[in-house]
Amino acid sequence: MRVVADIPNPHVKITLHSYNGKYLIKLEKANLEQIYKIEETEVNGDEGVLELIDDEFIEAVVNRFVDMRDAFVSTIRRHN
């Protein structure tokens, strides 16, 4: 797996990878991560992938991290 770019963002750590004919957008916050896979043929190179990572996408990702954290905290509480 090749790291294409580390994309600065104040809310999440974003790393763009290339692997096996796909781009992987890896987003991390605390102990959670989300990975989105895109066929290389669906975008116009590295720049095409970077265009997808806009403010609206980041907002949705951050909201999903909140949901993920809430779900995990809830299950921990149920089982303690």
Quickly list H helices, the chain.
45-52, 55-78
Tell me what pLDDT residue 58 has: 97
Tell me what pLDDT residue 66 has: 98
Tell me what pLDDT residue 9 has: 96
- Collapsed DSSP state (helix, strand, coil) of residue 25: strand
CA–CA distance, 40 with 37 (Å, rounded to integer): 9
CB-CB contact of 53 with 61 (8 Å): no
Tens-level pLDDT at each residue, the chain (80 residues): 899 999 999 999 999 999 999 999 999 999 999 999 999 999 999 999 999 999 999 999 999 999 999 999 999 999 99
- Residue 20, CA atoms < 13 Å, CB-side half-sphere: 2
Tell me what pLDDT residue 18 has: 96
